[in-house]
Structure 1
Amino acid sequence: MAANQNPQALIVRGGWDGHEPVQTTDSFIPFLTENNYQVRVEDSTKIYADADYMATVDLIVQVVTMSTIEKDELAGLRQAIANGTGMAGWHGGIADSFRNSADYLQLIGGQFAHHQAKARPEELKGEAADNFVRYTVNIHPDQKQHPIVAGIEDFELETEQYWVLSDDYNDVLATTTIPARDFDAWHRPITCPAIWTRQWGNGKIFVSTPGHQLTVVDHPSVRTIIERGMLWVTR
């Protein structure tokens, strides 16, 4: 990106409406424009296959839960990031996208596997709030000076707590620990990455697992972390 050129941001959103892809991404557009980004919004991953356009993008913000992605679209996404485009996203919009694609999972470095219910099965009401539990996001002690989380203390949320399958190529900025209750099938607490970054070629990736809905990304710590993450990964 030339020094006198505004950074180009591409928002790609869609998938399951329960994650409020439109509302959550819209809420960050003012922040991006205030930081001189030119913002383009797409409701399809087809744009990833446009190599000429993707070469101009400095930041991708993706919120597309589940869904599928075509081979040429994924190839375009991976190549753009390898060439230096940054990628950011939150919750299922990045960590539960395109479950059928191993190449996407390798790129992102973490895949949603589970969110525990708040009570015993017989006590649940069959509604989304059944999966909203109170939990803590713990800033990794070795990363407290990282520009994305500097000055942020451990914080609590009441929302879905993601159990994430991941690898050690991630730079984990924060974790969360899922307890083992007497009615759970697992036998000890599980500590998972909650916020991480990842290098891919010349590009950088940022993932925040908190972000289920607008009320969650509006939490002051979550919003600050996502805003900083978008800036940090930008080419």
Structure 2
Amino acid sequence: MRKALIAWGGWEGHEPEKCSEIVGAMLEADGFSVEIVQGTQGFADPGLKDLSLIVPIITQSTIEKAELANLVAAVAGGVGLGGFHGGMGDSFRDQIDYHFMVGGQWVAHPGNIIDYRVDVTRGDDPIMAGIESFDYRSEQYFMHVDPGNEVLATTTFDGTHAEWLKGTVMPVVWKRRHGQGRVFYSALGHVASEFDVPEMKTILQRGLNWAAR
């Protein structure tokens, strides 16, 4: 049986505990054995390297050097890493080794909660199969991203909230490798209610399964 660790914490505005329960139930339905823990201490466990998947749901916060080193080593050794929004894309702002592994870091969401378009760019990828481009209401993430990411969906800033960004195309969903591990990220999912959007939930569910060893 595939084993997954979900670690939640950080800024409460992203409802990390509630989201961890939703993701946990989703993975259990897909046949995973799931452990849900609060905080970063679980990343120090020597058994981390034996898992199939790690899902951080920790916005901002901090992480100890030993915890991060063990996490990065586990993923480089083949454990999958997957997550969404600020729970993975805005964690541990001072830890560049983490950003390097994830393939991006949040820096802004002009206008805060707004309506925007998600454009599917890789409909041929199994993660995005059958999903057409769709309208979405949430924070439109502006991120610093690795150009080596395999981008599956993007969004285009229209300049309403930051005129100098008009026409900027920003990755929303991507996958990549870090060492032997698969890494998946989706910028969608500000709060737990966004799991009610079928496209958001399906993309994340498929992405986590893809990442899992």
Identify the TM-score tier after normalising by the shorter chain: over 0.9
Q: Does 1:47 align with 2:42?
A: yes
Aligned residues: 213
Which moved further from structure 2: 183-192 or 92-101? 183-192
Q: Greater Rg, structure 1 or structure 2?
A: 1
Q: 1:134 aligns with which of 115, 125, 137?
A: 115
The one-letter code sitting in structure 1 at the alignment partner of 2:5 is L
Q: Give the CA deviation at 1:70.
A: 1.1
**Which deviations, in whole Å up to 9, do the C-alpha atoms of 1:135-159 show, x marking residues without a partner?**
011011xx21111111100011111
What is the SS of the residue equivalent to 1:176?
strand
Q: In the alignment, which residue of structure 1 is the partner of 2:133?
A: 154
Q: In the alignment, which residue of structure 1 is the partner of 2:185?
A: 207
Q: Does 1:100 align with 2:94?
A: yes
1-side partners of 2:9 and 2:76: how far apart? 24
Q: Which runs of 5+ in 2 are unaligned?
A: none
Q: In the alignment, which residue of structure 1 is the partner of 2:27?
A: 32
Q: In the alignment, which residue of structure 2 is the partner of 1:221?
A: 199
**Which deviations, in whole Å up to 9, do the C-alpha atoms of 1:172-193 show, x marking residues without a partner?**
0000111123x73516321111
Q: Does 1:166 align with 2:161?
A: no
Which consecutive segments of 4 or more residues in structure 1 shift more than 3 A? none
Q: In the alignment, which residue of structure 2 is the partner of 1:11?
A: 6
Q: Give the CA deviation at 1:45.
A: 1.1
Percent of aligned pairs with the same amino acid: 40
Indicate the RMSD between aligned Cα atoms, in angstroms. 1.2
The one-letter code sitting in structure 2 at the alignment partner of 1:109 is G
What is the SS of the residue equivalent to 1:116?
coil
**Which deviations, in whole Å up to 9, do the C-alpha atoms of 1:44-90 show, x marking residues without a partner?**
11111222x10221111111000111111111111101111101111
TM-score calculated relative to the size of structure 2: 0.96
What is the SS of the residue equivalent to 1:76?
helix
1-side partners of 2:127 and 2:116: how far apart? 21
Q: Which runs of 5+ in 1 are unaligned?
A: 1-5, 118-130
What is the SS of the residue equivalent to 1:10?
strand
Contact 2:20/2:36, CA 8 A, preserved across alignment: no
The one-letter code sitting in structure 2 at the alignment partner of 1:113 is V
Q: Give the CA deviation at 1:24.
A: 1.3
